[in-house]
Amino acid sequence: MKISNLILAVAAIAAGASSMVTTSAFAQAKEQFFPLLSYRTGPYAPNGVPWANGKQDYLKMVNARDGGVNGVKLTYEECETGYATDKGVECYERLKGRPGVALFDPQATGITFALTEKVPTDKVALLTLGYGLSVAQDGQAFKWNFPLMGSYWTGADILIQHIGKKEGGLDKLKGKKIALVYHDSPFGKEPIPVLQERAKMHGFDLQLIPVTAPGVEQKSAWLQVRQSKPDFVLLWGWGIMNSTALKEAQATGYPRDKMYGVWWAGAEPDVKDVGEGAKGYNALALNTSGQQPKVIQDILKYVHANGQGTGPKDEVGQVLYTRGVIIQMLSIEAVRRAQERFGKGKVMTGEQVRWGLENLSLDQKKLDALGFTGIMRPLSTSCSDHMGSTAARVQTWDGSKWNFTSDFIQADEQILKPMIKTAADKYLADKKMTRRAPADCQS
């Protein structure tokens, strides 16, 4: 009797274990995992934190409001990089093997450069909205990179167009001095080829003034500015470098209304400590800010109202927070798009999500339905175009808030496309790689 009871007990345990394994496997199979590389510490934290918080809050909101994507729960894990390339690669290596991994948003150009060679082997895409490798817009050369909504090349081109228009025409730039004060890193160096090409076309003198990372010490850079007296200064900064540059400009008497920043130098952390001292400063903008849009209201309702907010409530809707929300929305919409082809309610592989990124079609009606009315422009990708949109606006700081001071400006593809093709072909030749076959674009 005891023996038979023991046998039954063992069988029950075995059955229970089998059930647990099955349940566990099923749970795993219904979870899409988003690795979140972030930097909440160090000199870039003031900018990195709201960006990371927006991404997390959007994931939480979609789970709470929609139950995930067609029944697939969205999971995530943050990994702190401190904006350091080596730590970013470590995070990538640790998280890339997790079940249901969707894609990676490295949150740093240096990390993007390091991972670009790894992702084709690992078959997981890089989403680098407004940063990363500019020539990766060429999807036929860079199958796994997606610099959605803009690159440093499109940003540089838009700024020169805008300055030229303000001067009365691009021909009026002849003989002018334009200084690039830039973060001495892959990020800061990215716009240089386009600025050099524009300088050659329009006859302005381009001055390159590097700033050693993280940008706390800039006195020598602004001494050069004071001595050369450029007509305009382009600021290619990130984190503490931006507010420091504005304070140095104020101290040296350089007019802030002659300064133009990239979209990573145009958020609240860049100007709030400078206040009136930054009045007149201009920067590019990829998105709006504020708590009025429906998606932001949904985050407040489904996440913050339930005590689940990742950061403070008053940060919700700020420039970089909203950019984080956009990035996570595009990531999730790539999963949703992939499900339309490969199976609704299924967890997508990295390759399938890559296809989703390459076949995004977010027209105004779709953006409205997602709650993104007014936040961003429509976006559509293809095999040849991994960017989807190349327009941005200029905003100006009035001492207390940002105001848009231009319409959307489209990057000049006639100038950029040949440059992108040449640079992409060189990259492929250096790496002994070839362009994608036409059939690959249909796969």
- Degrees to nearest 5, angle at CA 209 with 204 and 215: 145
- Which architecture, in CATH terms, is 153-285+395-415? 3-Layer(aba) Sandwich (3.40)
Listed as ranges, residues in the chain with pLDDT below 70 are 1-29, 443
Under DSSP, the state recorded for 282 is E
Reduce the DSSP state of residue 378 to 3 states and report it: coil
In sequence order, what DSSP letters do the residues of 355-413 get, joined into one string? HHHHT-EE-HHHHHHHT-TTTS--EE--SSBSS---EEEEEEE-SSSEEE-S--EE--H
> How far, in Å, CA of 188 to CA of 394, rounded?
19
**pLDDT recorded at residue 442:** 74
> How far, in Å, CA of 66 to CA of 76, rounded?
17
Q: Which of 182, 152, 162, 163 is nearest to 390 (CA)?
A: 152
Under DSSP, the state recorded for 51 is H
Half-sphere exposure in the Cβ direction for 69 (13 Å, CA): 27
Q: State the residue for tokens 């997390």.
A: 56
Q: What tokens does 48 get?
A: 């990195």
Q: What tokens does 10 get?
A: 């063992």
**pLDDT recorded at residue 441:** 86
Q: What tokens does 75 get?
A: 């999971």
**pLDDT recorded at residue 11:** 46
> How far, in Å, CA of 150 to CA of 405, rounded?
19
* 152 CA to centre of own chain: 11
Give the DSSP H or E segment for 415: helix 413-430
- The CATH H-level (homologous superfamily) assignment of domain 30-150+292-384 is Response regulator (3.40.50.2300)
Q: Do 296 and 305 touch, CB atoms closer than 8 A?
A: no
**Domain ranges in the chain with CATH number 3.40.50.2300:** 30-150+292-384, 153-285+395-415
**pLDDT recorded at residue 21:** 40
**pLDDT recorded at residue 261:** 98
